[in-house]
Structure 1
Amino acid sequence: MEKVSSRLKISRETSQLLSVLSGLILLSLIFGFMSDKFFSVDNLLTVALQSAIIAIIAIGQTYVIITTGIDLSIGSNIALAGIVAAILMTSGVAVPIAVIGGLFSGCLVGLINGLIVVYGNIPPFIVTLGTMSIVRGVSLVITKGIPVTDLPEAFTTIGTGSIASIPIPAVIMFTLVAIFGFVLAKTKLGRYTYAIGSNFEAARLSGINTKRTLISIYIISGFLAACAGLILAARVVSAQPTAGTGYELDAVAASVIGGASLLGGEGMILGTFIGALVIGVLRNGLNLINVSAFWQQIVIGAVIIAAVYIDRVKRK
């Protein structure tokens, strides 16, 4: 029976991946037909660069969504991580130490989210909605609403440099997709994540330390948000207290488009990665054909609703 269930799961995952990949290819062909610049090497590298931050934060969001949770503090966490690292660097701290400080701030926010969700027994939506506001407020208070500038070149290279013509943010994205994809698919933490999302009580009764697992998942989400925050600060050569605003929407969109179910128990990092590329291609293509950024938000919102509706239909 377990073998049949496993085969069915693999079949569903493969079907979902092929579906999302087909959508990405179709979307690319449409924009390629509408703009002769779309398939140029420079533009494809731009798509990879633009998709990097979305993909990185969506990885963490996927882990959380699989457990039937959500992390709305991602955008604020992006801003805080960049600010912490920037302030340390402008104070004379070495770049590697400052980067570690930024990553630590992201993990700390994730830890706080996890502790409140687990021990406060408060829905993740409410918890992360609250921390979203708190963390954004902390970022504004620390900087007094003024961007932190004069960042060292050794740091900004992370966002503006390239390796063998591939943007460094894209290289980081591919690396994190591989690492956390492996963790979710092949490790005990990944199995526990799916178990909690499928049936929390059954997972607890089977001996899984659900509290520790959930806290770990929120720390992962915070860590990945901090990674994205550092890359964004390096790209724009400054740490903005308003950075990351609305990015949580993109993270949810990429996760859901990639096959993660808001009802929990389903999701793949490879699917999320493709979902992030769909968002990146959509934004890039709309820019190329001169569609307003305001209309782009409408399109992204419509895509999220459509993806959730399709998920519901498939489950029925």
Structure 2
Amino acid sequence: MTTSIERSASRRPSRWGAVPQVTHSPAFLPFIGLLLVTTFMVFASDNFLTTANLENVARQVSINAIIAVGMTCVILTGGIDLSVGPVMALSGTLTAGLMVAGLPPPLAIAVGLAVGIGFGLGNGVLVAFLRMPPIIVTLATMGIARGLGLLYTDGYPISGLPDGFAFFGRGTLLGVQVPILIMLATYAVAWVLLQHTRVGRYVYAIGGNEEAVRLSGIRAPRVKLLVYAISGFTAAVAGLVLTSRLMSGQPNAGVGFELDAIAAVVLGGASIAGGRGVILGTLVGAMLLGVLNNGLNMLGVSPYVQSVIKGGIILLAIYISRQRSVR
């Protein structure tokens, strides 16, 4: 039996094929922004459209985009996850260390993914069942994950990984880079979850009005537990891809990645207050950030100036999202 919460939550932004409503989609403005930035970079730098540069952009985008999938799910419920960067580093270094110690790569990878899911579940329990503020909880677990990663490695990178492990970060399949395939697979699963399942409807409903969800008899804490577990899982996946690409476990990896993931979600049109956004918009937002970072580097813009520019763009995206939500 369909509840009123399910019916209201199902009225989400139009799916990809809904042409008449495309300009109302949260992904529309970010897509226009991506086109404008890309066009500018093409004319501003002769090297932007080279194969080597485009491959570099794709690799950079894939890491942030994978993390941003889990961040999108969390933000849609009105939460936040600041622990994804350190969790990413911990999962990567632990996987690297176990492989160097002789554990078969599949088992080492499984342990790394389990650690990410474990941190996500821990965040979810504290936020959903103990009613602790998400920003405080994930700020604390951010420090815990970073400390555990440094403790495990003594602050040194772990090298000497099996050659076959490089496939996940450097390999190609059917002419496409494996990190891009992993990214696309992650987004496909997330799209199905959010757009075509009851859990997806609940995620949107919780972000829109959690109290109404509770009164409707829906077990909101379980849904929130799931989205934080997804966030931990995608952070771990990104950590494995990065570790494979570098062929070393870096305990200091992932610094600031949580901010890039949040920026991708916000630039993609999602409301930071929850209840509004589409996973396609997050992918566009991640691509926009990747093109912007790459273009500014090619133009020789100072990293300090880049931070100012990106911060201003994020504030503008939040303002636009706020204005659209109050209409």
TM-score range (shorter-chain normalised) is: over 0.9
User: Structure 2 counterpart of 1:97, which letter?
Assistant: L
Change (3 A) 1:202 1:157: same
**Percent of aligned positions that are identical:** 46
**What's the CA shift for 1:3?**
9.1
CA deviation vs aligned residue, 1:19-61 (integer Å, no higher than 9, x gap): 1111101100000000111122332222111100110001100
Deviates more, 1:229-238 or 1:37-46: 37-46
Contact 2:26 2:278 in 1 (8 A): no
State the alpha-carbon separation in 2 of the partners of residues 113 and 276 from structure 1: 24
In the alignment, which residue of structure 2 is the partner of 1:34?
44
Change (3 A) 1:65 1:6: closer
State the alpha-carbon separation in 1 of the partners of residues 253 and 75 from structure 2: 23
CA-based RMSD: 1.9
1:162-241 pair list within 5 angstroms: 162-241=172-251
State the alpha-carbon separation in 2 of the partners of residues 163 and 272 from structure 1: 25
CA deviation vs aligned residue, 1:249-281 (integer Å, no higher than 9, x gap): 000000001011011101111100000000000
In the alignment, which residue of structure 2 is the partner of 1:247?
257
Change (3 A) 1:139 1:297: same
**What's the CA shift for 1:4?**
10
State the alpha-carbon separation in 2 of the partners of residues 276 and 306 from structure 1: 16
Change (3 A) 1:9 1:235: closer
Change (3 A) 1:6 1:161: closer
SS of aligned partner of 1:240: coil
Contact 1:17 1:258 in 2 (8 A): yes
State the alpha-carbon separation in 2 of the partners of residues 7 and 115 from structure 1: 29
Matched, 1:94 2:79: no
State the alpha-carbon separation in 2 of the partners of residues 14 and 313 from structure 1: 13
In the alignment, which residue of structure 2 is the partner of 1:131?
141
1:253-264 pair list within 5 angstroms: 253-264=263-274
Contact 2:166 2:245 in 1 (8 A): yes
**What's the CA shift for 1:294?**
2.7
Deviates more, 1:3-12 or 1:88-97: 3-12
1:1-12 pair list within 5 angstroms: 9-10=13-14, 11=21
**What's the CA shift for 1:18?**
2.0
Q: TM-score, normalised by structure 2?
A: 0.92
CA deviation vs aligned residue, 1:288-313 (integer Å, no higher than 9, x gap): 11122232222222221111111112
After superposing on structure 2, the runs of 4+ consecutive aligned residues of structure 1 that deviate more than 6 Å are 1-8
**What's the CA shift for 1:119?**
2.3
User: Structure 2 counterpart of 1:173, which letter?
Assistant: M
Change (3 A) 1:13 1:92: farther
User: Structure 2 counterpart of 1:248, which letter?
Assistant: E
State the alpha-carbon separation in 2 of the partners of residues 295 and 157 from structure 1: 35
Contact 2:67 2:235 in 1 (8 A): yes
Contact 1:45 1:166 in 2 (8 A): no
Structure 1: runs of 5 or more not aligned: none
In the alignment, which residue of structure 1 is the partner of 2:167?
157
SS of aligned partner of 1:16: coil
- Counterpart of 1:105 (choices 90, 94, 115) is 115
**What's the CA shift for 1:89?**
0.3
User: Structure 2 counterpart of 1:101, which letter?
Assistant: V
SS of aligned partner of 1:199: helix
Contact 1:254 1:275 in 2 (8 A): yes
